[in-house]
Structure 1
Amino acid sequence: MRNTIILSILLFVAVIGASIYYFADLNGSEKEGLRPLTFLPKETYLVSTFHNDATTDNIFKDFELFEALIGKQDMKQWQLWKAKLLRNASLQPYVNGSDLYLSFHPEGEKIVSLFSIPTSEPIEVESLAAVMAEVGKEFNVTHRDTLGARIFHLHSGNKDSIFHIAYHKQIFFASYSDSLINRVLDNNQPKLDKHAIDYFAENNSRNSPLSVYFLHDEVAKISQHLMRNRPGNNIGLFTSIGGQSAWNLNFKNDALILSGESETMRDRKNYLEVFGRQSKTTQSLFNYFPENTATYMAFAISDPALFQDDLQKMFKERGESEKLSDQLQQLERNSNLSLNKEIRQIFGNEFAVVEQSNQTSLAFVALHDSSQLSQNIDRISTETGDSIFRFDQSNVLYALFGDPLKSFTRPYFMKHENSIVVANSQSLLQDFKRDMRRENLLINTLGFKNFEKIQGNEANVTYFQRTRTSSALIGNLLKPAFRENFRDSDDFGFQDFYSWSLQISGNNGDFLSNIYAIYKSKTALGATPEWSYTFENRPITAPWVFEHSDTSQFILIQEQDHTVHGIHPSGKQLWSAVFHGRVVGEAQQLADRSIVLVTDRNRLYRFDSSGNGLPGFSLGLSAEPSYTPTVAELNGQQLIFIPAGNELLVYDLEGKRMENWSNEKLAGNILFDVKARNSQVFIGTENGHFYQYDANGKLIKQEVINGGHFRNPLAFIAQEDAGSTLIAIDTANNFVTIDFKQPATKRTVGNWHGKSILAFDHMGATPANRLIVLDGKKLSTLQLPDGSPLYDFTFTQAAEDRPQFFANGSLLGIASRENGLIYIFDDKGTVVNGFPIESMPLFYYGKIDYNSATYLLCVRRDRKLYAFKHD
């Protein structure tokens, strides 16, 4: 698992962004050459340049991931020196308009930083002394002369925080390392390569707030410096490519993104060079990777002929061609298949290697034509049982695709969709099968969804590192000093990065390259709650928001022991009471602010906003309620209609049973809520019986849909004459329209599974505008009444909870219980910014007080209700 250490290398790439900001803010705009780089020691891991203007300063103002990388203690020190030195009135005229440079260098068991700041004009010795004298009023300042320069030592009270400053050749050099300053000043010390500096100058973008320069030869040195053991195969791909990269920062407050170009030595012995003549192309194998993926390297080929040509040249340069050729000829003889015409045609243009959190590896290879594999699988492999095969010949995958698959010498494999999954043991493939059955996939995790929003899926090479599943392994590989920082969650925030990744694409022999670090921002929705409310037991209803008084609202929710809680919008408890049974369906509020609900212990409740039961309530029911009561006004009297299986129970608001309503059992269980409109009441049952009653409870008409079965709610549909026409959809996807004036009509509206979840965006007396369909992993929305499609969305796992509607029905909430995610869609089908987030399928989205901001109220596995403000 040594490959995971690439993460640590990338961490130090990211650190330079943070360092520069806190030493900047000088408001200069003219370009300064890269002359300071000519003084840097050859042992330079990373360099960055930062041009200073007000716009850039504002961009970085609250870039919280910088502090996570730098550490809080160092941040405070750098802020101190920035304020006392760069903002010094005597010094500022000399550094205004200058770019700043920050470089990182090895020193013992540490990595030390150096700030290089050219001045716009020379500073006289007397002026410099005056500046340091002024600084000396707050710090103990000493100096010494060496190597033709004066080095000032600024003591802030701690021997480990002495800041050393030298002014040499019209450049300030500053560091906490005295020996590093001496190496910079010593002309006899080896310096950075001139060609590399020229490359950096050519690729320095004035349109970017930050540029990063990296020498590829430092990869091996950095890994050796950080790691206790030798690097693994992934790092090996980068250790001998030579050359350098120049990246520019793309700003995003929850991610560090560096994009630029990379130049290599074009050594044909290095595997990555075979992609230099490729161009970026779509990668898709990540859809198959298991949830416990710690790292992966994925490869995609845009031009197979060029790839094979460059691969064979690489083998020839390494002196491996003859041996591999003999093995492939043996494969051709044994299989009676042509390598170029048949064997290579089986496989596609993508492959990948996945390292799992348990330190095991899988490989994935796309198939060009799965039918060709089926036809020829017995010629190139032997079945070992349970649809698992083993290659008959060694090094087949290495010969076809090169270094990433070299460790899979004579592996086992199985077909999975349009790819094969490869492992060095059968048990790993059995484990993979189990993960697929359970849909334990990387793409089903929230972090990966957020990662996909930022990083595209087009490249030739992608390296991905997931912090959670590799954190322990990385810590064990790092040397003690670096491991301590990596695990220190108080001063640093390395664990708050979801992932680090690198993408490379061919570019006429060179490469385009990008680095992505996805950060769990504390300001992101779902990260830092405004408040939380702790329950003794698991909450079992969604939170409802109701009016409490003329000036405030409140939140109502029930937990597993049947306690109902009234919660203030600030998160404080208003009241709590134990109810008899679990709330069935929804609670609803009447015009007098009283709340009506039913429970599965045959109880009807009506209580005020302070939790006090109204006279006559609660009261027992003759049957168990099956869904939400409907409160409707008929002939000037408000009545409560309670569906109870195949019975309809009717009460007035004082709790009196309305005897004029029939007590006869219906021909089937009532579908969800009872409908009331235009002084009439409508009921539908699961076996296709639909009833129309007048205001006095007299049955007006019954409509029977023969052969139909229903399992989803009913709704009213808009009519020109404001009539009361019902719509329902049976399990055969027939759209049934019932107006009780003429025979019901049917028409097919979709091709969904019979167990699909269907809902209308209005569940009461208001006509529905949209039909929502959850068919396994697919969400579809249709316009009513014509059924024309509005938008579709595909989840990574089945969504099996009923949709929720917010903000007068324009916002749609969907919960994916299997992977613990919730989504909010707007009326155009776009996922609202900040979603999905992790939550159980019990949530509310909207205002929680009359004049409040929009909040997400959601429940997580820790038995808490969280309130997240969503700006």
Structure 2
Amino acid sequence: MRRLIVTTLILLAATVFITVVYFKNLNPPGVRNNQVMQSIPDNAVAVFEFNNEKGFYDIFNGNQLLAAVVGKQKLSDLDTLRKLLMSSALSDQFFSGQNVFISVHPADNDDIGLLVTTTASVGFEPNSFNMIAAQSKGALSIAVNHNAFGLEYDILVKVINKHFYIIKKEDNIVVGSFSKALINQSALYKNDKSKTIFVSLPEQQNANSLANLYINYGQLSPLFDEFFKNKNTDIFKSFRLLPAVAALSINYKNDALMFNGLTSLNTHTYSYLNLFTRQQPVINHLKDMFPATTAYSICFAVSDPQKFEADLSQWHIKAGVNSEKGKLFDKIRQETGLFLKTEFEPLLSNEFAVVTTRYQEKFAIITVKDGSKLLPLMTNISTMVSDHIGQFNYEKLPFFLLGDAFSVFRKPYFMIVDNYLVLAASSSELVSYTDTYINRKFISKTDQYNQFDNLLAERSNVAFFINFKNTQAILKRDLKDPFYNAFENNHPGWKDFYGAAYQFTASDKNFYTNFCIKANNIDTAALTK
């Protein structure tokens, strides 16, 4: 009996030991990814994640799309580093199969910084870099620097004559960058464990994904400030003001980069786009009315216009502009006898958009249920300059009736064509749109747009679109010189893309998100000459 008890105790102890060791070393991918992403400095705008295995590199080998987005030189430098530093038998032992995170950070030198973060397998020691460099046949040389935050490995990649800096952080996290300033920032960064900057994909979706893209909308404005001379550019503005993060997985195509996933909103802060989470997805039709010269646009769709207006009123209260709004509508009632807000809201239909053309015209196009009923309302609050065109007598009406995205139209001209209310800053712009409308000069009549549109979701609540060729003159005016020169001269580069779209579809008080960027069609006629 005593022997049986002793044997049982030994087996029990062994079981406990094995269980403890197993769970101590068990590192679910989702948990590990969270640890790595929390170590990335919180000024990261975006993080691109992929698995360091041969299949990934084989799929994207020769693909020009990533080079066009990241920059051919930056991608070439990273690829050279990978081949020299990460492809040896020794580095494979520690880094093969590990997830790699490349994060994008604003810099102070009219550039962007890329930070590479990954994990090493058990047994890795930083001095392994010395052995890896020794196996490079002179292609790499390494120096070890001792500083306030520990050891830093300065690796000179001789073929490109650039230094790559590496540090090792806790939890076997390894971080590297060609930017000395960025690697120092990473070394000093202490994440607030109570605050989550990026939200990981669900484990199953991550396991089935070739690559993932994480976006921190709150850091888009600092990045745009790096890019643009004009700090008030309205390109992607509503998204830049959104307190949210996105986790998207890639869908691979030869001629397009497509991502889809979820944008998770910050429940403690609020923005204009939050209003659209309270709507149902809507089939998008208004985009068919955009001019062929469209440079970029943002289109909104609501399933319940009157609910949207009620939510917008609550938003104005939170934003502290409700008193100003009330005074304006009281003034209109006193001077015209109209209860404008009350009479306008039942006539509002499901879609409204702001469109900017290559000629820097800007239109608001708003679908209404009955243009003939809306016309007398608009006429009564306007000074007519022709039979069909008038100018509002009151400022900020589009902002109070439709929200932030329409604040650019302070005292616009208007016209009504069929069941569309069209606003612009001048009567000549409305004459231009009249020609577009009558002669059906719509972007939806072009083959390349329709091929692009076929890649997009049919339903959404918020949709941003940019046509890179039509936007070029605006970018030349507004981008800082180094970034515009890169746009103009890099090949592959952004000029090699036809367009990009970013769609939000309401889903459980957040947004299901689609992001698509498509290459220009290949000119087969030119290739045969």
Same fold (TM over 0.5): yes
Q: Greater Rg, structure 1 or structure 2?
A: 1
Instruction: Look up the match of 1:20.
Output: none
The answer to whether the 8 A contact 1:42-1:190 is kept is: no
The answer to whether the 8 A contact 2:47-2:102 is kept is: yes
- Structure possessing the higher relative contact order (Cα contacts under 8 Å, 6 or more residues apart): 2
Inter-CA distance 38–398: structure 2 relative to 1 (3 Å threshold): closer
The residue matched to 2:206 in structure 1 has which SS?
coil
Instruction: Look up the match of 1:256.
Output: 257
The answer to whether the 8 A contact 1:33-1:201 is kept is: no
C-alpha distance in structure 2 between counterparts of 1:493 and 1:453, whole Å: 23
C-alpha distance in structure 1 between counterparts of 2:173 and 2:270, whole Å: 41
The answer to whether the 8 A contact 1:141-1:155 is kept is: no
Instruction: Look up the match of 1:397.
Output: 398
Deviation at 1:339, TM superposition (A): 4.6
Matches within 5 A, 1:611-626: none
Instruction: Look up the match of 1:858.
Output: none
Which blocks of at least 5 consecutive residues in structure 2 are unaligned? 1-27
The answer to whether the 8 A contact 1:118-1:172 is kept is: yes
The answer to whether the 8 A contact 2:292-2:441 is kept is: yes
C-alpha distance in structure 1 between counterparts of 2:129 and 2:428, whole Å: 70
Inter-CA distance 138–59: structure 2 relative to 1 (3 Å threshold): closer
Choose 510-519 or 47-56, whichever is displaced more.
Answer: 47-56
The answer to whether the 8 A contact 1:274-1:307 is kept is: yes
Instruction: Look up the match of 1:153.
Output: 155
The answer to whether the 8 A contact 2:457-2:514 is kept is: no
2:424 counterpart of 1:427 = no
Inter-CA distance 62–379: structure 2 relative to 1 (3 Å threshold): same
Matches within 5 A, 1:176-325: 176-186=178-188, 189-191=189-191, 195-197=195-197, 199-200=199-200, 202=202, 205-233=206-234, 235-266=236-267, 270-325=271-326
Letter matched to residue 502 of structure 2: L
Letter matched to residue 514 of structure 2: N
Letter matched to residue 490 of structure 2: S
2:174 counterpart of 1:172 = yes
Letter matched to residue 153 of structure 1: I
Instruction: Look up the match of 1:343.
Output: 344
Instruction: Look up the match of 2:132.
Output: 131
What are the superposed Cα offsets for residues 307-362 of structure 1, whole Å, 9 maximum, x if unpaired?
A: 12221111111222122123224444555555566332222121111112222211
Identity %: 24
The residue matched to 2:90 in structure 1 has which SS?
coil
Letter matched to residue 49 of structure 1: E
The answer to whether the 8 A contact 1:268-1:317 is kept is: no
Instruction: Look up the match of 2:92.
Output: 92
2:66 counterpart of 1:69 = no
Letter matched to residue 315 of structure 1: H
The residue matched to 2:514 in structure 1 has which SS?
strand
Deviation at 1:57, TM superposition (A): 4.4
2:417 counterpart of 1:416 = yes
The answer to whether the 8 A contact 1:240-1:270 is kept is: yes
Deviation at 1:157, TM superposition (A): 5.0
Instruction: Look up the match of 1:811.
Output: none
The answer to whether the 8 A contact 1:52-1:99 is kept is: yes
The answer to whether the 8 A contact 2:45-2:217 is kept is: no
Structure richer in strand, relative to its length: 1
Deviation at 1:474, TM superposition (A): 0.9
Instruction: Look up the match of 2:358.
Output: 357
Aligned pairs, number = 497
The answer to whether the 8 A contact 1:38-1:194 is kept is: no
Instruction: Look up the match of 1:531.
Output: 528
The answer to whether the 8 A contact 1:266-1:273 is kept is: no
Instruction: Look up the match of 1:483.
Output: 484
What are the superposed Cα offsets for residues 420-479 of structure 1, whole Å, 9 maximum, x if unpaired?
A: 211122111112222334432222223312221111342111111111111132133222
Inter-CA distance 334–529: structure 2 relative to 1 (3 Å threshold): same
Instruction: Look up the match of 2:440.
Output: 439
What are the superposed Cα offsets for residues 786-808 of structure 1, whole Å, 9 maximum, x if unpaired?
A: xxxxxxxxxxxxxxxxxxxxxxx
Matches within 5 A, 1:629-648: none
Inter-CA distance 364–133: structure 2 relative to 1 (3 Å threshold): same
Superposition TM-score, scaled by structure 1 size: 0.53
Deviation at 1:128, TM superposition (A): 4.2
Instruction: Look up the match of 2:19.
Output: none
C-alpha distance in structure 2 between counterparts of 1:409 and 1:126, whole Å: 63
What are the superposed Cα offsets for residues 473-523 of structure 1, whole Å, 9 maximum, x if unpaired?
A: 213322222222121134x4210111122112222322222222111254x
Choose 440-449 or 295-304, whichever is displaced more.
Answer: 440-449
Instruction: Look up the match of 1:513.
Output: 513
Superposition TM-score, scaled by structure 2 size: 0.85
The residue matched to 2:122 in structure 1 has which SS?
coil
The residue matched to 1:200 in structure 2 has which SS?
coil
C-alpha distance in structure 1 between counterparts of 2:115 and 2:525, whole Å: 35
The answer to whether the 8 A contact 2:98-2:120 is kept is: yes
The answer to whether the 8 A contact 1:30-1:98 is kept is: no
Inter-CA distance 378–151: structure 2 relative to 1 (3 Å threshold): closer
Matches within 5 A, 1:635-784: none
Inter-CA distance 348–54: structure 2 relative to 1 (3 Å threshold): same
Inter-CA distance 143–135: structure 2 relative to 1 (3 Å threshold): farther
The answer to whether the 8 A contact 1:381-1:389 is kept is: yes
Letter matched to residue 312 of structure 1: S
Inter-CA distance 126–358: structure 2 relative to 1 (3 Å threshold): closer
Instruction: Look up the match of 2:3.
Output: none
What are the superposed Cα offsets for residues 240-284 of structure 1, whole Å, 9 maximum, x if unpaired?
A: 432321111121221111212122334676211211212321222
Choose 56-65 or 446-455, whichever is displaced more.
Answer: 56-65
Aligned-residue RMSD, C-alpha:
2.8
The answer to whether the 8 A contact 2:120-2:173 is kept is: yes
The residue matched to 1:162 in structure 2 has which SS?
strand
What are the superposed Cα offsets for residues 213-238 of structure 1, whole Å, 9 maximum, x if unpaired?
A: 12222012111111112123455433
C-alpha distance in structure 2 between counterparts of 1:103 and 1:427, whole Å: 45
Letter matched to residue 179 of structure 1: A
The residue matched to 2:135 in structure 1 has which SS?
helix
Instruction: Look up the match of 1:555.
Output: none
C-alpha distance in structure 2 between counterparts of 1:268 and 1:411, whole Å: 31
Deviation at 1:131, TM superposition (A): 2.1
Letter matched to residue 182 of structure 2: L
Letter matched to residue 498 of structure 1: Y
Inter-CA distance 266–36: structure 2 relative to 1 (3 Å threshold): closer
The answer to whether the 8 A contact 1:346-1:367 is kept is: yes
The answer to whether the 8 A contact 1:39-1:185 is kept is: no
The residue matched to 2:199 in structure 1 has which SS?
helix
Letter matched to residue 220 of structure 2: V
The answer to whether the 8 A contact 1:151-1:164 is kept is: yes
Deviation at 1:285, TM superposition (A): 1.7
Instruction: Look up the match of 1:607.
Output: none
2:20 counterpart of 1:44 = no
C-alpha distance in structure 1 between counterparts of 2:140 and 2:320, whole Å: 63
C-alpha distance in structure 1 between counterparts of 2:418 and 2:193, whole Å: 50
C-alpha distance in structure 2 between counterparts of 1:425 and 1:272, whole Å: 28
The answer to whether the 8 A contact 1:289-1:442 is kept is: yes
Deviation at 1:152, TM superposition (A): 3.5
Inter-CA distance 394–138: structure 2 relative to 1 (3 Å threshold): closer
Instruction: Look up the match of 1:121.
Output: 122
The answer to whether the 8 A contact 1:196-1:244 is kept is: no
Deviation at 1:366, TM superposition (A): 0.5
Instruction: Look up the match of 1:368.
Output: 369
The residue matched to 1:422 in structure 2 has which SS?
strand
C-alpha distance in structure 1 between counterparts of 2:485 and 2:341, whole Å: 52
C-alpha distance in structure 1 between counterparts of 2:440 and 2:487, whole Å: 32
C-alpha distance in structure 1 between counterparts of 2:375 and 2:307, whole Å: 27
The residue matched to 1:385 in structure 2 has which SS?
coil
Deviation at 1:75, TM superposition (A): 3.4
Instruction: Look up the match of 2:500.
Output: 500
